[in-house]
Structure formats: structure tokens, C-alpha cells
């Protein structure tokens, strides 16, 4: 097996967390670019927008009025993707139609709850632009929401789509939490891989992986007493990072005060580094994967994925098309090179 992470020829890497493979093609990094270039989001915003549905005191599209909140605030999504009580499933065929093979036409009801988390009353501040104390307030609210939702729902997904490039429909600093009563595809794959590892090894998969990355340092981006961030060995997106606590934790609601404070510091450093690397408020999708359900899961380690779409600059993004859609994920920049660029952007 090819084990040299600095190999400059085409090769594949296995994602130990999902079981998927990614093709790495370092020789393509120097090819000329004549494709799409997206304008940067450079327009200055004020701290309050009277037309924003999420600003304090404003009326949302449904007619509900926001409170004059002064700190992070959460509410039920006015247009949720899942409902607490879904209507009955429609009939799959009309009376008199020949029966359909049940193993080819399967469906099931999905129920749950969707929440919106406003990070700040200030319309102009992204998460990276908040102070560490303000980010710590966001983390505390995440933990509070997760603690309540885990009691009623099987999977709680905390996430943020930042920037129009990532499909965000409102620039006010906010994220979402979807709590559903099933185990989604990505969570199912991660759970199976972590369980298989745990049954054959004395520690969780991501604990072993974290220690190896910290010892190597080649893909380590930043770390502190309680957290580390790496460009994972198997990264798909050019500047993808994986955040891990430095002890085993089930979910965000299990973090103590010191760990929440350290996480706020690491997020400030990492997200500000992204902004400096691309000289723009860097778009991304970020999400937390905690253990399913409310019971302890010894095989599972809490972690966060950060997926920025940018490739060469603030105007050039990675497109998951062609081979990626039809065969498997592929990247031109090696994870080691991406980590080095992020370390330089973060600085000492």
C-alpha cells in the first residue's frame, strides 16, 4: 500500500471515518484556469438591516416578530424541512394498478424539528468576526439546544451554511439545527466505521486518528489544550478541516466550561485564518457530528467538519462535477499542502 503522504503522483486515500475513497491528483494543481470566477462578497453591511428577517425586533415572513435579543437566540424555523407530525404517506399506486416490487419502491415518513440559531444581534458580524466571548455564547446555546433535542430525536445536526456561494439565503450571522427521528446517510456510515474500529481496538477511531495527526504535524492546522483542527488525510474539499476534542466526548452538551472556552478560541483562530487566506469573509458549510440518541456511545467521538468551497482564490471555487459525481471525489491540492497554507494564514 502507498503510504507516503507527500507522493506527487495520482493516488487514492481511504476515509477511515466513512469508508469512502478520494482520488488525489497533485499534478493538476498547476493547470491554467479559464473557468468560472465568482465575485467576492465585499459589500459592507450595517449592524442592523430593517429588511432582514433575523435582525432584532423585525417581523419575519410569517408575521412573527423577533424579540430585541442581545445575545445568541434560537427559534423554530418558519419553513422547516421536516415536521413534528408529518401527514400520512400518499398512496404509491392507483387502485387496479399491478403491484410494485416492494424492495424497489421503498419510502418512510421522516419527522423532526428544525431550529434557527442567530449568533448575534449585529447583522454585519460573521462568526469569525465575533469576539471569543461572543463565540462562547454561541457554543453554550448550541449545547443547550442539543441537550434538549437529543432527548426527543435520534439525530441532532448542528450546522451553518455561510455565504451566498454556499446557498445561504440570509446574510445575518446564523446557523441551523435539524433534529430528526432517523439516522441520516452520513451519520450511518460514520457510526458503522467507528463501531467496527472500536470492536477491534482499545480506543475510539477518532481518538487514535487525532493522536497520530498531532504526532505527525503535517496536516495539523491549529490546536490548544482541549481541541485540534487538521486537514484530514482523506479531505475532499481543498481546504476542508476536521475539528476534534482532545478527550472522548459524545456531543456538544457534554463539554465543560473550560472546553467551551477553548473551542471558542480555536474557532476564532481557524475561521479568521480562512478569511485571511482568501482575503474575504470565507464561505463554508460547517457542521457538528455528535453521537446519535441520548445514551452514551463509547465508539463515537464528537467532531466538526468545515467545508469551504474555495480552491485557488476568493473567486475560484471547487466544483463537484464530472468524475466526482459519476465515480468518486477527486482533489488537486494535497491535504498536506492545504494544511501548510492554512498554518501560514493563521500565523504564529
Report all structural domains of the chain as residue ranges with CATH numbers, in order of start.
185-346 (3.30.428.10)
Cα–Cα distance list, 87 to 61, 82, 282, 315 (Å): 24, 11, 39, 43
Query: Once rounded to an integer, what is the mean pLDDT over residues 87-93?
Result: 58
Q: What is the pLDDT of residue 33?
A: 44
Q: Where does the pLDDT of residue 89 fall: very low under 50, low under 70, confident under 90, or very high at 90 and above? A: low
The predicted-structure confidence for 141-161, as pLDDT tens digits, reads as follows 999 999 999 999 999 999 999
- The 3-state DSSP class for residue 76 equals strand
The predicted-structure confidence for 208-228, as pLDDT tens digits, reads as follows 999 999 999 999 999 999 999
Q: How far apart are CA 30 and CA 312, in angstroms?
A: 10
Residues 6+ apart with CB under 8 A from 296: 250
The predicted-structure confidence for 106-143, as pLDDT tens digits, reads as follows 888 899 999 999 999 999 999 999 999 999 999 999 99
Q: What is the pLDDT of residue 86?
A: 74
Q: What is the pTM of this model?
A: 0.92
Q: What is the pLDDT of residue 164?
A: 87
Residues 6+ apart with CB under 8 A from 322: none
The predicted-structure confidence for 313-348, as pLDDT tens digits, reads as follows 888 888 889 999 999 999 989 999 999 999 999 987
Question: DSSP letters of 222-270?
Answer: EE-SSEEEE--TT--STT-EEEEESS--SSGGG--HHHHHHHHHHHHHH
Given a contact cutoff of 8 angstroms between Cβ atoms, the answer to whether 178 and 184 are in contact is no
Q: Which residues are catalytic?
A: 174
The predicted-structure confidence for 244-284, as pLDDT tens digits, reads as follows 999 999 999 999 999 999 999 999 999 999 999 999 999 99
Question: DSSP letters of 270-333?
Answer: HHHHHHHHHTS---EEEEEE--SSSS--TT---EEEEE--EEEETTEE----THHHHT-EEESS
Residues 6+ apart with CB under 8 A from 194: 17, 204, 205, 206, 299, 300, 301
Query: Once rounded to an integer, what is the mean pLDDT over residues 26-36?
Result: 60
Q: What is the pLDDT of residue 107?
A: 82
Given a contact cutoff of 8 angstroms between Cβ atoms, the answer to whether 161 and 285 are in contact is yes
Of 206, 71, 80, 79, nearest to 144 (Cα)?
Answer: 71
The predicted-structure confidence for 39-78, as pLDDT tens digits, reads as follows 566 556 789 999 999 999 999 999 999 999 999 999 999 9
Q: Where does the pLDDT of residue 93 fall: very low under 50, low under 70, confident under 90, or very high at 90 and above? A: low
Given a contact cutoff of 8 angstroms between Cβ atoms, the answer to whether 49 and 123 are in contact is yes
Q: Where does the pLDDT of residue 105 fall: very low under 50, low under 70, confident under 90, or very high at 90 and above? A: confident
Least confident piece of the model among 7-11, 73-77, 101-105: 101-105
Of 225, 201, 228, nearest to 217 (Cα)?
Answer: 228
Query: Once rounded to an integer, what is the mean pLDDT over residues 280-293?
Result: 96
Going by the DSSP 8-state scheme, the letter that residue 151 receives in this structure is T
Q: What is the pLDDT of residue 34?
A: 44
Residues 6+ apart with CB under 8 A from 282: 128, 162, 163, 271, 274, 275, 308, 310, 314
Amino acid at each position: 500500500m502507498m503510504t507516503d503522504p507527500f507522493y506527487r503522483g495520482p493516488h487514492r486515500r481511504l476515509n477511515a471515518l466513512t469508508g469512502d475513497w478520494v482520488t488525489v491528483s497533485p499534478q493538476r494543481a498547476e493547470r491554467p484556469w479559464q473557468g468560472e470566477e465568482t465575485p467576492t462578497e465585499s459589500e459592507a453591511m450595517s449592524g442592523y438591516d430593517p429588511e432582514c428577517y433575523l435582525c432584532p425586533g423585525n417581523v419575519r415572513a410569517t408575521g412573527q416578530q423577533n424579540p430585541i435579543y442581545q445575545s445568541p437566540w434560537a427559534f423554530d424555523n418558519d419553513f422547516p424541512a421536516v415536521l413534528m407530525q408529518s401527514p400520512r404517506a400518499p398512496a404509491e399506486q392507483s387502485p387496479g394498478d399491478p403491484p410494485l416490487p416492494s424492495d424497489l419502491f421503498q419510502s418512510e415518513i421522516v419527522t423532526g424539528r428544525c431550529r434557527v440559531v442567530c449568533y448575534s444581534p449585529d447583522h454585519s458580524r460573521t462568526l469569525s468576526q465575533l469576539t471569543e466571548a461572543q463565540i462562547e455564547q454561541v457554543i453554550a446555546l448550541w449545547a443547550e439546544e442539543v441537550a434538549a433535542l437529543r432527548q426527543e430525536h435520534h439525530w441532532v445536526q448542528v450546522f451553518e451554511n455561510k455565504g451566498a456561494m454556499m446557498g445561504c439565503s440570509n446574510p445575518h450571522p446564523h446557523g441551523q439545527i435539524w433534529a430528526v427521528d432517523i439516522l441520516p446517510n452520513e451519520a450511518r456510515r460514520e457510526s458503522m466505521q467507528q463501531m467496527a474500529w472500536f470492536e477491534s481496538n482499545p480506543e475510539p477511531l477518532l481518538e487514535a486518528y487525532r493522536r497520530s495527526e498531532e504526532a505527525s504535524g503535517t496536516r495539523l492546522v491549529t490546536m490548544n489544550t482541549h481541541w485540534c483542527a487538521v486537514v484530514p488525510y482523506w479531505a475532499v474539499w481543498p481546504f476542508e478541516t476536521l475539528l476534534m476534542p482532545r478527550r472522548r466526548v459524545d456531543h456538544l452538551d457534554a463539554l465543560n466550561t473550560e472546553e467551551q472556552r477553548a473551542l471558542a478560541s480555536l474557532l476564532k483562530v481557524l475561521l479568521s485564518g480562512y478569511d485571511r487566506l482568501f482575503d474575504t469573509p470565507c464561505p463554508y458549510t460547517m457542521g457538528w457530528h455528535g453521537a446519535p440518541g441520548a445514551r452514551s456511545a463509547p465508539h463515537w467521538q464528537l467532531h466538526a467538519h468545515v467545508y469551504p468551497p474555495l480552491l485557488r482564490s476568493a473567486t475560484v471555487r471547487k466544483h463537484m462535477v464530472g468524475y466526482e459525481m459519476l465515480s468518486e471525489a477527486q482533489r488537486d491540492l494535497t491535504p498536506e499542502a492545504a494544511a501548510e497554507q492554512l498554518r501560514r494564514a493563521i500565523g504564529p
